[in-house]
Structure 1
Amino acid sequence: MLQNQLVAIIDDDESVRLGLGALVRSLGWTVRLFASAEEYLEACHTCNAGCVVSDVQMPGMSGIELQELLAARGGCPPFIIMTAFPQEALRRRAQRAGAICFLTKPFDSGAIIACLETALAQNKEKP
């Protein structure tokens, strides 16, 4: 059952964090919200996120830098990257690091739900 997995949402924009968090909770998933990649790293090193949804541009470490760091450490959950400033180079970089989805803000709820279902199903299949 996918509902038992934790979705970590990382975005420096509080309205995006809260809105996306409310949507994910309404679907039955557990959610933790973080204002930065650094906050996630400090608080979530043992949280076993089933999926991370992260903005690209944030003060400090970007969402893609976080994804690359976790991948290098060998403990990277599926990532969904979102940005208000899409660039093809960023999309390619996120995909190389293993991103499940690369969403351009604003996106509709159907798009993020489909990405979450894919990411959480993929995480569930890991040994």
Structure 2
Amino acid sequence: MSASPLIAVIDDDESVRVSLEGLVRSLGHRVCSFASAEAYLGAHTASDCVISDVQMPGGMDGIELIEALAASGDPVPVILITAFADAPIKARAEKAGAAGFLKKPFDGAKLIDCLNEALGL
């Protein structure tokens, strides 16, 4: 039997990371979390899907993460979550190839649906 999918959670807000970790684990998936996109990329984690905030302080945002993963030749499905879901950000996310786009706060069932679709379950 193969290992359960590994889901990476990236958000600068620790409470969001902890909440998402619990939800992902409740689905039987493995989870790792990071406070920034740079920390995720630096860890060279072979995740099956990423759930990332769009806007994080400092460096790379979630959309730039999608672009960096695609440029690396190792595209991973990325579900974006954001409190700032305006039309230009949503359009950038779709153009970059986001596997999902959810506005905070969101219904956990919607995230589960996005995650299952991204994982092909």
Give the TM-score of the pair, scaled to structure 1: 0.89
Q: Which stretches of structure 1, 4 residues or longer, exceed 3 Å deviation after superposition? A: none
Q: Which amino acid aligns with 2:56?
A: M
Q: Which amino acid aligns with 2:24?
A: V
- 2:66 corresponds to which residue? 67
Residues paired across the two proteins, number: 120
Structure having the higher helix fraction is 1
Measure, in 2, the Cα distance between the counterparts of 1:3 and 1:101: 24
Measure, in 2, the Cα distance between the counterparts of 1:77 and 1:70: 7
Measure, in 1, the Cα distance between the counterparts of 2:2 and 2:83: 28
- 2:54 corresponds to which residue? 56
User: Where do residues 99-114 of structure 1 align in structure 2 (5 Å cutoff)?
Assistant: 99-114=98-113
Give the TM-score of the pair, scaled to structure 2: 0.93
Percent identity, aligned pairs only, is: 57
- Segments of structure 1 that go 5 or more residues without pairing to the other structure are 123-127
Deviation at 1:89, TM superposition (A): 1.2
Contact kept? 1:67, 1:97, Cα under 8 Å: yes
1:8-29 residue CA offsets vs partner (Å, 9 max, x unmatched): 0000000000001101001100
Measure, in 2, the Cα distance between the counterparts of 1:48 and 1:41: 10
Deviation at 1:117, TM superposition (A): 0.2
Q: Alpha carbons of 1:63 and 1:77: their partners in 2 closer, same or farther (altered >3 Å)?
A: same
Contact kept? 1:2, 1:120, Cα under 8 Å: no
Measure, in 2, the Cα distance between the counterparts of 1:93 and 1:81: 11
Q: Which amino acid aligns with 2:11?
A: D
